[in-house]
Structure formats: C-alpha cells, structure tokens
C-alpha cells in the first residue's frame, strides 16, 4: 500500500535559523516575519520524479567527467553512503546533485575570481541516484579550502555541496558536508549557523579505510537523512 501520511514536522532547531549575523550575507537575506506553519496538502506530499535514463555514464565520476580526457589533479576519493528517512526507510531512486571546488579551492564558475588556478580536467559538477537500498556513491578529488569575504578573510573548510529531492517537495534539502578532522570546521561561520553541535557533527563525512580503492582512492562515508513519513492511523478530516 502506498503511504499517504504526512511528513514529520521539520525540527527547525536542528537547522540553522535564517538570521545568523556571524554569516554576514544572512543579515539582509533573512525574513523578519515568522514562517507561517501549515498542514501539508497533496501537492507538498508529491515531488518531481527524475528518470534514471537522464544520467550519463560519467555523471558520478568527477575525476573524469570534464575536460579533454585527462584526470583531475588532487586527492582521489570515493564518497558513499545511504539516504534514509527519519523512520530509517531507504529513500530509493532519488537524485543527488553535488558541486565543489577543485583541489586548490577554485570553483569553475564565471563569478569565482580566486587566484588559485582552474584544473583543465575538473568541472566540479556531478550527480547520481540512490539504488533500492538508498545507497549512492561518486568519485571525485577532495576539494581545497578557500577564502571568502566575511570577517576579513574567513576560510571555508573543505566541503562538497549536495542537493536532494526525496519523494515529496517538503523533503527538499540542500546542504554541505565536510571532512573528518578538518580544523577549519570549528572556525567556519557557515558551519556555525547550526546551533546544535550534534547537528554540526552530522555534516562530517567519516574516513572509511575499508572502502578505499587500494593504490587508487581513499573513501569517505556520508549518510543523509530526509524527513520521514508518518503512518496514517486515522484519516484526520
């Protein structure tokens, strides 16, 4: 039977609030009014469906999916994990999009003017879909940290941006994950927009030596949790 229940309410205390002055850009881009809380309608409990056929063979291989046939320079890594909902159910066939800077912290984006050079064989854009058990993986190079204009020159820890849809519009999520042991994580005003230390920890990918590709690539494990769906005990009309 298809579940039609509502999605569990988003715990806004686990997410960063909109207004976080330590991250300066949020000051003018955060609503002053409270969000209006509403029940979910049928439109919010549905969401876009992407066909697996949209994926090209190298979409999840950022070492090889850009450039002239050569490989990207940097620390070769595999990132893998599972996407589960809050009830522990695998989120199947959902699109994961990732984007990142190259090994030197430079983005291949027309607006990035950082002096670190571009890598002719690195684009920094990838995507994959979860399998029937919610598993995903992609291969890339570990991104470098980079400076940004916040408090003078702040430095972002190495991070990879990621985006998920789940099966409903209310599960939509964009975030960033970081790498175990990076001393810049604790200093980052964007990481620290999240008030709860345990929630910040949930964004750190763990070194996974067992899943390394020997003499080729290190591995990191990063699991993702989307909002869960309630069971429908009674129709609440």
Catalytic residue positions? 107, 146, 156, 159, 161
Do the strands 218-221 and 224-226 form a parallel or antiparallel pair, or are they unpaired?
unpaired
Distance between the two ends of the chain, CA-based, in angstroms? 20
How far apart (Å, rounded) are the C-alpha atoms in residues 40 and 56?
35
Nearer to other proteins (CB atom), residue 216 or residue 235: 235
To other proteins, the closest distance from the beta carbon of 74 in angstroms equals: 16
Instruction: State residue 47 phi and psi, 5-degree precision.
Output: -165, 170
Cα-based angle 48, 29, 15 (whole degrees, multiple of 5): 60
Cα-based angle 49, 42, 98 (whole degrees, multiple of 5): 35
Q: Which residue is it, tokens 């069971």?
A: 231
Nearer to other proteins (CB atom), residue 33 or residue 209: 33
Identify any residues that bridge with 138 across adjacent strands, giving them in sequence order: 79
Nearer to other proteins (CB atom), residue 37 or residue 53: 37
To other proteins, the closest distance from the beta carbon of 16 in angstroms equals: 4
To other proteins, the closest distance from the beta carbon of 87 in angstroms equals: 6
To other proteins, the closest distance from the beta carbon of 214 in angstroms equals: 29
């Amino acid at each position: 039977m298809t579940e039609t229940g509502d999605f569990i309410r988003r715990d806004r205390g686990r997410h960063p609030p909109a207004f976080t002055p330590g991250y300066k850009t949020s000051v003018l881009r955060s609503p002053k009014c409270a969000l209006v809380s509403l029940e979910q309608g049928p439109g919010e409990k549905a969401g876009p469906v992407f066909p697996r056929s949209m994926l090209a063979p190298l979409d999840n291989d950022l070492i090889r999916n850009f450039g002239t046939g050569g490989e990207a320079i940097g620390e070769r890594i595999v990132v893998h994990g599972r996407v589960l909902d809050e009830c522990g159910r695998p989120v199947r066939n959902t699109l994961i999009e990732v984007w990142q800077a190259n090994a030197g912290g430079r983005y291949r984006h027309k607006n990035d003017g950082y002096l670190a050079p571009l890598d002719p064989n690195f684009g920094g854009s990838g995507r994959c879909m979860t399998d029937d058990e919610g598993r995903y993986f992609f291969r890339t190079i570990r991104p470098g940290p980079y400076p940004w204009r916040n408090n003078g020159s702040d430095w972002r820890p190495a991070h990879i941006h990621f985006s998920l849809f789940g099966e409903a519009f209310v599960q939509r999520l964009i975030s960033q994950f970081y790498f175990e042991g990076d001393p810049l994580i604790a200093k980052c005003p964007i990481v620290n927009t999240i008030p709860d230390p345990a929630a910040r920890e949930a964004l750190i990918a763990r070194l996974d030596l067992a899943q390394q590709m020997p003499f080729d690539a290190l591995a990191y494990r990063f699991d993702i949790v989307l909002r869960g769906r309630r069971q429908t005990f009674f129709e609440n009309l």
